[in-house]
Structure 1
Amino acid sequence: MTGGAGSTACFADYVVIGNPIAHSRSPAIHARFAADTAQDMRYAHLLAPLDGFAAAVREFIDQGGRGANVTVPFKLEAYALADQLTTRAKAAGAVNTLKFDNGVILGDNTDGVGLVSDIVRNAGFDLAHKKILLLGAGGAARGAVLPLLEERPAQLVIANRTVTKAEELVRQFQQYSEQPGILSACGFAQATQGFDLVINATSASLQAELPPLAAGAFGPAALAYDMMYGSQPTVFMQFAAAHGARVRDGLGMLVEQAAEAFFVWRGVRPHTDAVFAALRSQL
């Protein structure tokens, strides 16, 4: 198998493909989903060369592959490789899920719906008519905008260090907003109006840094959600908690986006509670 995956991917129906990839929890997640839903499927890691993503995918297809999760740094290449794109993949401009069917490569993006599922179902937080602040204007934020808009919030403000990038996202997604004025952009310092939900889609938590966010961003009984996760609360979560917000990390998003990919491939929607609890105990 191209990219050094060796026999681990040769006998798989599905893979998670990236570089690096050995750290991915996807095989364990999907093995549990398959067992819980009585699905006969085999899932493995696939390491693709940085300059050989498309070739690795096509070789996997030739060996009987039926689908793939795609992680860094290949989500844009997966978008370009797909023959067909779902609406949410087109909106995100990136693909994290590929389905191979009768010679056609379907590209999807389940990140945003995974985020929304975790917030609405697992955290019990209804997004309808809420004021939402989305921090960041990169790929993670881009994948979240459409699923958030579909929940019909009262307001969705995209804040970014470089405001022009946030404004670009607003222009791109304005067509998906049912009412004018729901979407807007600002800098971090201008986000002070007391939001119901604040989502950190920046990479700051990876460096244990805090976006330059005003304490006034958190409204009464606000939920602060960090897309990153770990064994300890992130700096963003600590800051939010200190200012009265309820906090949640992105582990549930990881599990829920995987469940959505599983549904895309198999047509069966797995339960996620047990997988989430198992992963949390391992952090």
Structure 2
Amino acid sequence: MIHLYKKEIYAVFGNPIHHSKSPKIHNFFFKLYNFKKKYIKICASKNFFLDEITLFFKKGGKGANITLPFKEKIFSLCNNITKRATIAGSINTLKKCNDGKIIGDNTDGIGFLSDLLFHNIIKKNFNLLIIGAGGASRGIIYPLLKFGCNIFITNRTFKKAQILSKEFSKFGNIESVFYKNLRGINFDLIINSTSASISNELPLISYNIIKKKTICYDMFYMNKKTSFMSFCEFYGSKNVYNGIGMLIHQAAHSFFLWNKIFPDIKKTIKYLFK
């Protein structure tokens, strides 16, 4: 017998998931608008996660966020998939509609762009360097190109950067560049999309590409400065950021999909860092 949830439940699925700040963010959103809803985190089995997410919705779950390592493996569960999720090749947000159908969306890219706009650190025609050609970079390329930026992408395995640049070239100006050729380009914004900071390591880039006005953004977040942020500061950057703002904004876009309300970002930041 399936025991139904007693209140409207939302969840984030991942493995590992203990570190996730999503419940704190979303439960604050609910409190902000007096919603009698709850957001939880679920450590899903790597072999049976589709069954577990299906059960979650059968028990009355209304929406879910999907994080590593399941973002690229959830498509078969969805009845409808948004354009941005299709282009990104990954899904981080699910919504169960009143007719029982599941919508799959990706709010990572729009969340990242929203955070850059929130901090006023992006303009059209900016030269952006994305370090890394994995799933994290895939999620942000389309919104940045659509906004009107020029993207350069580099990766330790250069062929992966070439594949991404070719795939997204129809949406705007994007070019793959060898690490050793980066020094000849003036970058307005450098984005670390690799997982190097998780292990306190650095991506393979030269300090020569970092200038005083260069904005540096690590998509990874932690309670202190990441290794990438410290590296960029040491070599002169006066503007460094981590991914907590992206997390808040992608959560806000998920919340909007579920509730048709875009939550107050300033109040959320104040709550998280009080």
Q: TM-score, normalised by structure 2?
A: 0.92
CA distance in 2, matches of 1:44, 1:176: 36
Deviation at 1:10, TM superposition (A): 6.9
1:1-283 counterparts in 2 under 5 A?
11-101=7-97, 102-121=99-118, 123-153=119-149, 155-177=150-172, 182-192=173-183, 193-245=185-237, 246-281=239-274
Letter in 2 for 1:248: Y
CA distance in 2, matches of 1:12, 1:76: 26
Summarize the Cα distance change of 1:162–1:13 in structure 2 as closer, same or farther, 3 Å threshold: same
Cα deviation 1:60-101 (Å, max 9, x = unaligned):
111111110111111112233222111111111111100111
Letter in 2 for 1:108: D
Contact 1:188–1:211, Cα closer than 8 Å, also in 2:
no
Deviation at 1:134, TM superposition (A): 0.5
Deviation at 1:141, TM superposition (A): 0.4
Give runs of ≥4 in structure 1 deviating > 6 Å: none
The answer for unaligned runs of 5 or more in structure 1 is none
- Number of residues of Structure 1 aligned to a counterpart in Structure 2: 271
Identity, % of aligned positions: 37
Q: Secondary structure at the match of 1:69?
A: strand
CA distance in 2, matches of 1:212, 1:22: 29
The answer for unaligned runs of 5 or more in structure 2 is none
The 10-residue stretch of structure 1 (61-70 or 78-87) with the greater mean CA deviation from structure 2: 78-87
Deviation at 1:220, TM superposition (A): 4.8
Q: Secondary structure at the match of 2:37?
A: coil
